[in-house]
Amino acid sequence: MKKDFRVQYPLWQMAFIVMFGFLAFSVTSATTELINSTDEFSYSFELAGFESLLLFGSISLTFILGAIFASKIAKHNKQHLTQKLTMWQIRPLEFLEQDEGMTHITRKAAQKVYTFFVWALPVLTAIYLVFELSRFWMIFGILILALMQYIIYYLEIRKYLREVED
């Protein structure tokens, strides 16, 4: 069960969030120029060596991860013909709802994440209100919340499954 794709899905999301963090860092570190006048509109940005390495490295890794991720979904769908997943479904892929017991642990984990957001969102809003932060740090704050969401969810589900599988 611990190897079920739906259980491991938060780990994939965490990896994609980290990749997006690198991408955001490299783009926000770039020298940007915006021209928006009556007869011209242009946007350009210039990357230094390190930032361009980060940008292309993170994009390449995201594509590689995306390909492995898609193959994992295909493998899951082959093994679970009645519980197929798609990358584009609205309902989170990590929800375990095969029966009432699995729905119960999903609800417990989702409640913990909800509680986290009840506190974290006002705190983050207050930080943004008090401090004048750059674009990168604002994105970084949101990515940390997203990362925490998946860490909390994953650890809670794992706690229940470890108890019954050890």
- Which residue number, 54 or 157, has a Cβ lying nearer to other proteins? 157
Instruction: Output the six-digit token pair for 86.
Output: 């798609």
Shortest distance, position 1 Cβ to other proteins, whole Å:
6
Contacts with other proteins, residue ranges (CB under 8 A)? 1, 98-102, 104-105, 160-161, 163-165
- Which residue number, 39 or 99, has a Cβ lying nearer to other proteins? 99
- Which residue number, 34 or 81, has a Cβ lying nearer to other proteins? 81
Shortest distance, position 161 Cβ to other proteins, whole Å:
7
From CA 119, how far away is CA 122, in angstroms rounded?
6
- Which residue number, 99 or 132, has a Cβ lying nearer to other proteins? 99
* C-alpha to C-alpha distances, 164 to 8, 105, 161, nearest whole angstrom: 17, 12, 5
Helix residue spans in 80-134 (DSSP H): 100-130
Shortest distance, position 56 Cβ to other proteins, whole Å:
43
Shortest distance, position 103 Cβ to other proteins, whole Å:
9
Instruction: Output the six-digit token pair for 2.
Output: 């611990």
Secondary structure class of 121 (helix, strand, coil): helix
The continuous run of DSSP H or E covering 162 comes out as: helix 135-165
Shortest distance, position 16 Cβ to other proteins, whole Å:
27
- Which residue number, 33 or 97, has a Cβ lying nearer to other proteins? 97
Helix residue spans in 3-134 (DSSP H): 5-29, 49-79, 100-130
Sequence-separated (6 or more) residues with CB below 8 Å from residue 90 = none
